[in-house]
Amino acid sequence: MQRSTPGDVAYTWIIGLLAGLGILILIGPVLVVIATSFTTSQTLKFPPPGLSLRWYGELFNPARSAQIHTAALNSLWVAGLATAIGGVLAVLAALAISRVARPSARVLEASFLSPLVLPTLSYGLAALMFFSVLGIRPSLNLLIAGHLVVIAPFVFRTTLASLSQLDPALLEASANLGASRLYGFRRITLPLIAPGIAAGCFLAFISSMDNVPVSLFLSTARTAMLPIRMWGMMETTLDVRIAAIAGVLILATLILMIVMDRLTGLTRRMSG
């Protein structure tokens, strides 16, 4: 290594400062919201004048927050079913094209991943028009169909990645030892790709819970979804209960994330 020049010192400082700013900007808002959720005040003052569980009490009070509870249950139901159905379809599709080098497989792969980059807001409006042309009235089932399409790519991608790391020799060995293909799949392939499937399902579930573009067009007052309800609260009143919802969601996500990390090495998987 050579001696540090002033330029090198400046490089180290600038990179360090920008990285620090990056970390601050990433976690700052999350911390601010959590702190705000414990405020005693009527408004979104930061720092809070005093700490209390007042807004969590409001949030969990069935009489005061019934609409929020309905929206949260709707969101959980839709996210659960969309992840389950979309997950199965995506795993099957990943099995179908893994290790196939043909152009047809690449085309399928790109199509199945396309909701990740195509604007889902355009898709939300398209889905609304489609169902209204068909004369189908809005319901939670429509929301499940819409969410399923935009969250299946998460499972598809992680399953495909797991399959690409699977050693084919393992299955050949099991076949040579007389195992049927189904048996080999059940006892060898599935256990080895299960962490990938689980990580994908976790991401799919979270992104369905958080989906705005599709829910915006397909949900109605009767089938309200949590993010849309929160958007409405934010547009009109800037209700402090939003911060309390944030607190609950962040805690739930954190717990889920730690569990998933233990089970599947989620953080390793996501960093490649």
Partner 1 sequence: MAAAAAASGGVPGARVDWRLAAPLGLTYLAFFAAPFAILLGISFYADAEQTRLGLDSWTKFYGDAFYRKVIFDTLKLGVFAVLATTLLAYPLALVFRASGPRVQRLLIFIILMPLLTSVVIRTFAWIVILAREGVLNQTLMGLGLTATPLNLLQTELGLVIALTQIEMPLMLLPLLTIMNQMDQNLVDASRALGASKWRTFFRVILPLTLPGWIAGATLVFASATTAFISQSVIGGARLVYLPSLIWQQSMVVYNWPFAAVASLTLLFTVLAGIMALGWLGRFARTS
- The residue (of 195 and 227) whose beta carbon lies closer to partner 1 is 227
Minimum distance from residue 123 beta carbon to partner 1 (Å): 7
CB of 245 to partner 1, least distance (A): 7
Handedness of CA 136, 138, 140, 144 (dihedral sign): positive
Nearer to partner 1, 63 or 207 (CB): 207
Q: How many other CB atoms are found less than 10 A from the CB of residue 167? A: 10
Q: Which is nearer to partner 1, 8 or 63 (CB)?
A: 8
The least CB distance from residue 265 to partner 1, in Å, is: 11
Residue 51 or 270 having the CB closest to partner 1: 270
Taking the complex as a whole, the smallest distance from the CB of residue 223 to partner 1 amounts, in Å, to 15
